Amino acid sequence: MVSHLVLRYLVAIVSTTAAHYSSAFKADMSSCPSDIPLSCTNSSQIPDTCCFEYPGGVLLQTQFWDYDYPTGPDDMFTLHGLWPDNCDGTYNQFCDSSLQISNAEEVLTSFGEEQLLERMHEVWKDYQGDDNNLWVHEFNKHGTCLSTIKPSCYQNFETNREVVDYFRKSVELFEGLPTYRWLEAAGITPSDSHTYSKQQIDEALKSRFGKEVYFKCDRNHALNEVWYFHHLRGSIPHGNYVPIDALISSNCPAFGIKFPLKKAPSTSTNTATGTETSATSTATPTGNGGYLKLENQAGCLISNGKWFASGTCATYKLSKASFGGYQLTSSKGVCGIDSDGYFACGRGVTAAQFDYDSSSGYVTYGGQSGWSADRVPSRNVQVPIMPGSGRNVNFSLIYETR
């Protein structure tokens, strides 16, 4: 009963905030029924009326603490993105190439959104200084996966209208989640000497957000990202975002978490050198490339991306893509996921972003923990593989450097 009341209270807060926001929207989508279920909590099919975000019904508002390449104000976590995760924590990406943009600033300017653009330049920062590039990436990778801002959801749709709505909502959600202020109020401030415990940070954020907040540490045990999870009632621009517990738990150590100061770059004009350039020097283990092998299975992937048990392994190049992901390339071309859901490399394939864990060597896709195939290839047969465990034979994919 108590928790039910707390939940109602939170919903009320969020609704009030959202009602305030929605007056700023000009899109003329028909308004959504107020009894539409929260995303990911429906017990029956919901018709696609642009009022129910699906399949990405878990909405994450993610933020950076970029201390390494210091960016943004010294007392602000900066905006990373607004991401739709599936209800089980996996996610889709680059969902509709027909909606992709190549220049976010141009889109915003063409809609007369100078004020929003200016705010984005303050809070939505790329650590390499190319903010526009980060925004383009976020929209193309995540924004194109949102079902309630598809062009067909708008009356009198103007090309890229949904891009503006995506950026606007990202900024508004971000502004309601002032991580730095919340930590500061709990006595957690950047320092070169102090460290903090996981419990301290956890409690400081949870007491404000109302639910477990995910925070991430980098290799130096330093806080560098914070993610807030929500379910959504209604559409991306107009709906109510209801806090939920993070679907994953923090990788930070129990004690000794650093919260480094954002240091002004050294006086030298060349800020890209030195020892702190983790983004480039965590080094892509590419060098000579490597093989993609299946754990506990014979064979490996050949250059078109298929599993072959009785031939020579193809050489793959694994390279760090912008903003966290990895790209795979074989002699046939870039690798991605084809329209049937299978891994493929070659001309005509849209490059996807994979995840790679350098300590285990595992390569994964879309938050899925492994890969699967219909069967183990018999001699001279090539078998396609797919992310996730949907097929009969499950395995992990390992990148083995040459």
Ligand X SMILES: *[C@@H]1O[C@H](CO)[C@@H](O)[C@H](O)[C@H]1NC(C)=O
Catalytic residue list: 80, 138, 142
* 138: its two tokens: 């976020």
Name which position in 11, 13, 36, 46 contacts ligand X (CB under 6 A): 46
What letter represents residue 176's amino acid? G
Q: Which of 16, 31, 392, 401 binds ligand X (CB under 6 A)?
A: 392
Return the number of other C-beta atoms located less than 10 Å from residue 91's C-beta. 21
Nearest approach, Cβ of 369 to ligand X (angstroms)? 8
Q: Are 235 and 33 a contacting pair, CB within 8 Å?
A: no
Using alpha carbons, select from 232, 171, 322, 225 the residue that is nearest to residue 11: 232
Distance between CA 367 and CA 348 in Å, rounded? Answer: 24
92 is a contact residue toward ligand X (CB under 6 A) = no
Question: Helix axis angle, 131-141 relative to 161-175, nearest 10°?
Answer: 110
Nearest distance from residue 394's CB to ligand X, in Å?
Answer: 4
In angstroms, what is the minimal distance from the CB of 141 to ligand X? 22
Contact yes or no for 6/209 (Cβ under 8 A): no
Q: Count Cβ neighbours within 10 Å for each residue of 53-89 and write b for 16 or more, e otherwise.
A: bbbbbbbbbbbbbbbbbbbbeeebbbbbbbbbbbbee
Phi, psi at 386, each rounded to 5°: -135, 145
Q: Select the span of 44-52, 200-208, 213-221, 330-338 touching ligand X (CB under 6 A).
A: 44-52
Select 369 or 401, whichever has its Cβ closest to ligand X.
369
Query: Of the two residues 93 and 368, which places its CB atom closer to ligand X in the complex?
Result: 368
SS3 content of the chain, % helix, strand, coil (to 5): 25, 20, 55
User: What one-character-per-residue DSSP string does 125-191 give?
Assistant: --TTS-HHHHHHHHHHHTGGG-STTSGGGSTT--TTHHHHHHHHHHHHHHHT--HHHHHHHTT----
Question: Least distance from C-beta 342 to ligand X, angstroms?
Answer: 17
CB of 54 to ligand X, least distance (A): 5
DSSP 315: P
C-beta closer to ligand X: residue 43 or 380: 43
Q: Does 54 bind ligand X (CB under 6 A)?
A: yes
| Residue 280 makes contact with ligand X by CB under 6 A | no
Q: Which is nearer to ligand X, 72 or 387 (CB)?
A: 387
To the nearest whole angstrom, how small is the minimum distance from the Cβ of residue 365 to ligand X?
15
On the question of a cis peptide bond just before residue 55, with omega within 30 degrees of 0, the verdict is: yes
Quote the Cα angle for 75-324-282, to 5°: 90
Please report whether residue 394 would count as binding ligand X according to CB under 6 A. yes
Interaction between residue 44 and ligand X (CB under 6 A): yes
Residue whose CB is less far from ligand X, 17 or 389: 389
Piece in contact with ligand X (CB under 6 A), picked from 213-221, 283-291, 343-351, 387-395: 387-395
Q: Which stretch binds ligand X (CB under 6 A): 38-46, 147-155, 251-259, 343-351?
A: 38-46
Nearer to ligand X, 44 or 269 (CB): 44
- Can residue 45 be called a binding residue for ligand X (CB under 6 A)? yes
Does 378 engage in binding with ligand X (CB under 6 A)?
Answer: no
- The residue within the footprint of ligand X, chosen from 17, 42, 278, 322 (CB under 6 A), is 42
- CB 246, CB 229: distance < 8 Å: yes
7 touches ligand X (CB under 6 A): no
Q: In the chain, how long is the greatest CA-to-CA distance?
A: 64
Which residue number, 54 or 166, has a Cβ lying nearer to ligand X? Answer: 54
The single residue among 3, 23, 43, 102 that binds ligand X, judged by CB under 6 A, is 43
Closest CB 153 distance from ligand X, rounded Å: 15
Residue 102 found at the interface with ligand X (CB under 6 A): no
- Tell me the site size for ligand X, rule CB under 6 A: 9
Binding site for ligand X (CB under 6 A): 42-46, 54, 389, 392, 394
